[in-house]
Amino acid sequence: MSLTKVQPAMIGSSTSTTAFAAGTPIYENTNTVNSTYTITSGSNAISVGPITIASGTTVTIPSGSRWLIL
């Protein structure tokens, strides 16, 4: 099975990628947030951890939104 690499749709930096296997319920994410990120207002986000937020980096979660880390 091959993985399709895509630009991060959620948490991550422009140099990292996320991956998913088409036709399967597999999704990969990096373990470190390397750039400041704001979840889109009215949206939620999910990551599988542990997740590290790099020094000097912030993740903003707007009111009414959630970031779930499994």
Work out the percent of the chain whose per-residue pLDDT is above 90: 51
Kindly report the pTM of this predicted structure.
Answer: 0.66
Single-letter residue type at 29: N
Tell me the per-residue pLDDT of 8-29, one tens digit each, with 9 for 90 and over.
444 444 445 566 666 777 778 8
Which pLDDT value is given to residue 9? Answer: 46
**Where are the domains positioned within the chain?**
4-69
Q: Are strands 52-53 and 59-60 parallel, antiparallel or unpaired?
A: unpaired
